[in-house]
Amino acid sequence: MFRYTALRFGLIVACFGVIWGLVRVRLLPAGLGDSNYLWVALLSLVISAPLSWVLLRGAREQAALKVSERVDRTRLNFAASVGQEDEADDAARASSAPTAAAGAGTATAAATPADSEPHTA
């Protein structure tokens, strides 16, 4: 990825140099007033875009392949961590389930005699 970015930046700088030279020898029009460098910068960006599409195809495809591999690796790691969390949650629920059932049984037994007493009005 860094290689493609460096090549792309280098292509922009090279286009800037060529266009600046062409403007200095008056083969291309200069910008209005003090906007000469802005004109050259914008024109170099516009010209370098299609050039990079053609000239940097191999570097771009390698960068895209690396990004794709990194995304796939992240997805696999995420799926593995989700599975581990699910197993930990299931284990925690399984270990706390008998304790909760025993506590619920005690609460039910304690509530039963109170309910069986007659109510006086």
What are the pLDDT digits (tens) for 97-108? 665 555 555 555
Residue 14 has pLDDT above 70, yes or no: yes
Residue 37 lies in a domain: yes
Residue 14 lies in a domain: yes
Residue 107 lies in a domain: no
What are the distances in angstroms from CA 9 to CA 14, 27, 49, 101, 108? 9, 24, 11, 67, 74
What are the pLDDT digits (tens) for 43-93? 999 999 999 999 999 999 999 999 999 999 999 888 878 777 767 777 778
Query: 25: pLDDT confidence band, cut at 50, 70 and 90?
Result: confident
How many structural domains are present in the chain? 1
Residue 17 lies in a domain: yes
Residue 94 lies in a domain: no
Residue 112 lies in a domain: no
Residue 90 lies in a domain: no
Q: How many residues does the chain have?
A: 121
Residue 98 lies in a domain: no
Q: Structural domain of residue 31, as residue ranges? A: 1-78
